[in-house]
Amino acid sequence: MNTTGKAFSIEMHHKTVDKTEAGNNVGVNVKQLKKENIPHTGGVMCIDDPVLYPNTTKFTSLVFVRDHPVQLKSATNDGKGNYEV
C-alpha cells in the first residue's frame, strides 16, 4: 500500500524532538491518513525522497507493538521490498 501523510511531531521518551538518529526508539504523530490507509502489521514508514539515502540497499528494523486489536502474524517479503501478512 502506498499512501502519504504528514508527520506533525516526533517523540522520544515522551519529549518532542526535531530529529533522531538510527537506533533511537521514537513515536511519530502522523496526520492526513485516510482510515483505510492506516499502517498495519508489517508496514514500513519512510521519507519519500530517494536522494536522502542513495546507497542504502538493506536495513534491519526491530519493531515493538504495544497494543494491537488483532493477533499479529508473520510477514513475508515478495522480493520487491513489499511485505504481506
**DSSP string for 2-49:** ----EEEEEEETTEEES---TT---EEEEES--GGGS--TT-----S-
> Rounded to whole angstroms, how far apart are CA atoms 39 and 1?
9
What confidence score (pLDDT) does residue 66 get?
74
> H/E element holding 50?
none
pTM: 0.41
In tens digits, what is the pLDDT along the chain, a chain of 85 residues? 677 777 788 898 889 998 888 778 888 787 887 777 777 666 666 666 667 666 667 767 777 777 777 777 777 777 776 666 6
